[in-house]
Amino acid sequence: MNTLKTTMLMALLTGLLVAVGGAFGGRSGATFMLLISFGINFFSYWYSDTIVLKAYSAREVTPTQAPDLYRMVENLAANASLPMPRVYIIDSEIPNAFATGRNPSHAAVAVTTGIMRTLQYEELAGVVAHELSHIKNRDTLISTIVASIAGVISWIANMAQWAAIFGMGRNDDEDSGSTIGMLFTIIIAPIAALLIQMAISRSREYQADENGGRICGNPLALAAALEKIDYYAKNAVMRQATPQTAHMFIINPLSGSTKKLMNLFSTHPATEDRIARLKQQARG
């Protein structure tokens, strides 16, 4: 059911991109945007993991360099019936983690130095299990594609806004239709794209929590980890974090700068709700 929901939302997002192209450039614009969506998917499939790891200056570690972490990932990957992913460490005092990669055979788990110092062993295992769940369900690729498409829609909206300011594309014979199309492109489309992106992201986080609890065998440890990571995220902003990649982390590293009124546009469900679900899972 969750996979079906994600598929439908991704199809809706792609359709929105095509509609924006049609509103802004007619039939040729719609065709062009459809080709753009194919290009985004291709580029994201092959290069998204390399780009994000470089953006955070993540360094790959070996069993010799980080034996405890490497062995933990290895054991949990075996529990999840996954190939061993590459293991990376990010130099940051803020505890957090993310996974990336186009498929389970080409995946990576990255953790910050802060999370290794802050969490207990069982809690860190819960976090790693959560990230392995993302890999198993190919959430890492899905979230990158969705974010890329939503970003293109926002970029087109900005272009349309400047075109409207300078009077480009006005047609006296079709003024009403042109105005409606412009309003759709500038206002409605980017908000709708963001809402769809956030809905997909929140849905995948809930599933990763549940599956992560199963993989590590201790949902309460993952719940405790989320509580600690959320505390740091709300009281300190991760220096390297960007809005474009915040959705990848187990807790949004920019949540401290987000107002409560913006929860509708949050990339992650409320941490309190996630913890409550994990506690219910543990009782079951």
> Do residues 160 and 22 make contact, with C-beta atoms less than 8 angstroms apart?
no
Dump the DSSP string for 140-199: HHHHHHHHHHHHHHHHHHHHHHHHHHTTTT--GGGHHHHHHHHHIIIIIHHHHHHHHHHH
Strand ranges for the chain from DSSP E? 59-60, 86-90, 97-103, 106-112
Q: Which are the contacts of 283, defined by CB distance < 8 A and separation ≥ 6? A: none
132 is written with which tokens? 């392995």
From 9, 10, 19, 1, select the one nearest 153 (Cα to Cα): 19
Which residues are tagged catalytic?
131
Q: What is the CA radius of gyration of the chain?
A: 20
Beta carbons of 87 and 69 less than 8 angstroms apart = yes
Q: Which residues contact 232 (CB under 8 A, 6 or more apart)?
A: 94, 95, 96, 114, 118
